[in-house]
Amino acid sequence: MSKKKEKVLEQTIHVTYSYTRRVPLVEKRCPQCGRSFVGVKQKKYCSRACQAKADYEHHAEQYRKARMEKYHAEKKAAAGKQ
């Protein structure tokens, strides 16, 4: 009795697509820094940095609270180890 090994053939097909997306660009002003920029209609800020600053300003109280809770928890854990 001999067992036959089955050969599995794998074939990979690579297909490339090329297309042009036509999205109208609009001149806008960044509400965070006031700089003028060109972007799509939905874009609100000129850069990721301005977007992050605006997000932090909108949720600053929550971020501070979470950071303080983490600080106190770490301080309590460090005091317990001594």
Kindly report, residue by residue over 48-63, the tens digit of the pLDDT.
Answer: 999 999 999 999 999 9
Position 30 pLDDT exceeds 90: yes
Query: What are φ and ψ of residue 63, in 5° steps?
Result: -65, -45
Task: Give the model's pLDDT for residue 81.
Answer: 74
Position 1 pLDDT exceeds 60: no
Contact partners, residue 44, CB within 8 Å, separation at least 6: 28, 30, 31, 51
Q: How far is residue 27 from each of residues 34, 38, 43, 75, 79, measured CA to CA in Å?
A: 13, 4, 10, 49, 55
Say what the pTM is. 0.55
Distance of alpha carbon 44 from its chain centroid, rounded? Answer: 16
Task: Give the model's pLDDT for residue 68.
Answer: 95
Task: Give the model's pLDDT for residue 51.
Answer: 95
How is residue 20 written in tokens?
């042009």
